[in-house]
Structure 1
Amino acid sequence: MRRTLYDKLVDAHKVCDLPDGDMLIYVDFHIMNEYTSPQAFSGLETKGLKVRRPEAHLSVVDHVNATRGREAPDAASKLLIDNLEKNCRTHGIAFYGLGDPRQGIEHVVVPEQGLVAPGMLIACGDSHTTTYGAFGALGFGIGTSEVEHVLATQTLRYKRLKTMRVTIDGALPPGATAKDIIMKVVQVVGAGGANGYAVEFAGAAIADLDMAGRMTICNMAVELGGRAALIAADDKARAACSGRPHSGHFAFEGETWATDPGAAFDKEFVIAAADIPPLITWGTSPDQSVPIDGRIPQEADMATPKAKSALARALDYMGLKPGQAAQDIPIDSAFIGSCTNSRIEDLRAAAVVLRGRKVAEGVNAIVVPGSALTRQMAEAEGLDKVFTASGFDWRPEAGCSMCLAMNDDVARDGERVASSTNRNFEGRQGRGARTHLMSPAMVAAAAVTGRLTDVRDLMKETA
Structure 2
Amino acid sequence: MGKTLFEKIWEKHVVKQIEGGPSVLYIDKHFIHEVTSPQAFAGLEKRGLPVFRPQQVVATADHNVPTLNQHLPIREELSRKQVEKLKENCAKFGIELYGLGHPYQGIVHIIGPELGVTQPGMTIVCGDSHTSTHGAFGTIAFGIGTSEVEMVLATQCLMQSKPKLMRINVEGTLNKGVVSKDIILYIISKISASGATGYAVEYAGSAIRNLSMEARMTICNMSIEMGARCGMIAPDEITFNYVKDRKFAPHGEDWDKALAYWKTLYSDADAKFDTELNIKAEDIEPMITYGTNPGMGIGITGRVPALTEISAEDKPSYEKSLHYMGIEPGAAMKGKKVDYVFIGSCTNARIEDLRMVAGFVKGKQKAKDVEVWVVPGSKQVEKQAIEEGINKIFEEAGFMLRQPGCSACLGMNEDKIPAGKYCISTSNRNFEGRQGPNARTFLASPLTAAAAAITGEVSDIRELIND
Match of 1:227 in 2: 229
Aligned match of 2:269: 261
Q: Which of 354, 365, 368 pairs up with 1:361?
A: 368
Corresponding residue to 1:371 among 363, 378, 389: 378
- What amino acid sits opposite 1:366 in the alignment? W
Q: 2:442 is aligned with what amino acid?
A: H
Kindly provide the amino acid, as one letter, of the partner of residue 358 in structure 1.
Answer: Q
Query: Out of 188, 192, 212, which is 1:210 matched to?
Result: 212
Match among 201, 204, 207 for residue 203 of structure 2: 201
Q: Deviations over 1:345-399 (max 9, x none)?
A: 100111122111111111111000000000111111111111111111111x200
Question: In structure 1, what is the Cα distance between the partners aligned to 2:452 and 2:124?
Answer: 36
* Distance (whole Å) between structure 2 residues aligned to residue 93 and residue 386 of structure 1: 38
Check conservation: 1:170, 1:272, Cα contact below 8 A.
Answer: yes
TM-score by length of 1: 0.97
Give the secondary-structure state (helix, strand or coil) at the position aligned to 1:123.
strand
Instruction: State how far apart, in whole Å, the 1-side matches of 2:394 and 2:75 are.
Output: 24
C-alpha distance after superposition, 1:64-103 (max 9, x if no partner): 0100111423222111111111111111100000000100
1:441 aligns to what SS in structure 2?
helix
Q: What's 1:324 paired with?
A: 331
The whole-number CA distance in structure 2 between the counterparts of 1:257 and 1:166 is 17
2:141 corresponds to which of 139, 149, 165: 139
Cα distance in 2 for partners of 1:404, 1:6 equals 31
Match of residue 311, structure 1, among 299, 314, 318: 318
Partner of 1:62: 62
CA distance in structure 1 between the aligned counterparts of 2:153 and 2:398, rounded to whole angstroms:
45
Matching residue's letter, 2:105? Q
The 4+ residue runs of structure 1 with deviation greater than 2 A are: 249-255, 306-311
1:15 counterpart letter in structure 2 = V
Q: Distance between the aligned counterparts of 1:455 and 1:23, measured in 2?
A: 47
Distance 1:252 1:50, change over 3 A: farther
* C-alpha distance in structure 2 between counterparts of 1:293 and 1:352, whole Å: 23
8 Å CA contact 1:130–1:140 kept in 2: the answer is: yes
Check conservation: 1:64, 1:407, Cα contact below 8 A. Answer: yes
Name the counterpart of 2:438: 432
CA contact (8 A) 1:73 1:407 kept: no
- 2:413 is the alignment partner of 1:407: yes
- In the alignment, is residue 120 of structure 1 matched against residue 117 of structure 2? no
Deviation at 1:323, TM superposition (A): 2.0
1 CA distance for matches of 2:162 and 2:101?
40
* Pairing of 1:167-206 with structure 2 (within 5 A): 167-206=169-208
CA distance, structure 2, for counterparts of residue 175 and residue 17 of structure 1: 47
Q: Which amino acid aligns with 1:6?
A: F
**Alpha-carbon distance, 1:252 to partner:** 7.5
1:364 maps to a residue whose letter is: E
Q: Is the 8 A contact 2:240 2:259 kept in 1?
A: no
1:286 is aligned to 2:294: yes
Q: Secondary structure at the match of 1:459?
A: coil
After TM superposition, the score normalised by the length of structure 2 is 0.96
Q: Is the 8 A contact 1:65 1:73 kept in 2?
A: no
Structure 2 Cα separation of the partners of residues 364 and 422 of structure 1: 20
DSSP 3-state at the match of 2:66: coil
Aligned residues: 459
Long gaps (5+) in structure 2? none
Counterpart residue number, 1:271: 279
| SS of alignment partner, residue 326 of structure 1 | coil
- Are 1:8 and 2:16 an aligned pair? no
C-alpha root-mean-square deviation of aligned residues, in Å? 1.2
One-letter amino acid of the structure 2 residue matched with residue 451 of structure 1? E
Q: What is the alpha-carbon distance in structure 2 between the residues aligned to residue 313 and residue 172 of structure 1?
A: 34
Separation in 1, partners of 2:151, 2:259: 24
Deviation string 1:312-365 (CA, Å, 9 cap, x unpaired) is 111100001122221121001000000000000100111122111111111111
Letter in 2 for 1:458: L
Conserved in 2, the CA contact under 8 Å of 1:118 and 1:252? no
> Which residue does 1:350 correspond to in 2?
357
Question: C-alpha displacement at 1:310, in angstroms?
Answer: 2.9
- Measured in 2, the distance between the counterparts of 1:327 and 1:164 equals 33
AA in 1 matched with 2:429: R
Quick one: which of 416, 441, 449 aligns to 1:443? 449
Q: How far apart, in 1, do the equivalents of 2:313 and 2:75 lie?
A: 41
Letter in 2 for 1:313: K
The alpha-carbon deviation at position 294 of structure 1 amounts to 1.6
Kindly indicate whether the alpha-carbon contact (under 8 Å) linking 1:33 and 1:60 is maintained by their aligned counterparts in 2. Answer: yes
Structure 1 letter corresponding to 2:316: S
Q: Distance in 1 between matches of 2:441 and 2:261?
A: 45
8 Å Cα contact 2:135-2:141 kept in structure 1: yes
Residue of structure 2 equivalent to 1:300? 308
Conserved 8 A contact 1:107-1:339: yes
Q: Which moved more, 1:188-197 or 1:56-65?
A: 188-197
Post-superposition Cα deviations, 1:266-302, rounded to whole Å, max 9, x if no partner, equal 0011010000000000001101111111222211222
Distance in 1, matches of 2:313 and 2:425, equals: 27
Partner of 1:271: helix, strand, or coil? strand
- The change in CA–CA distance for 1:254 and 1:244 in structure 2 (over 3 A counts) is closer
Distance in 1 of aligned mates of 2:22 and 2:332: 49
**Distance in 2 separating the partners of 1:197 and 1:66:** 35
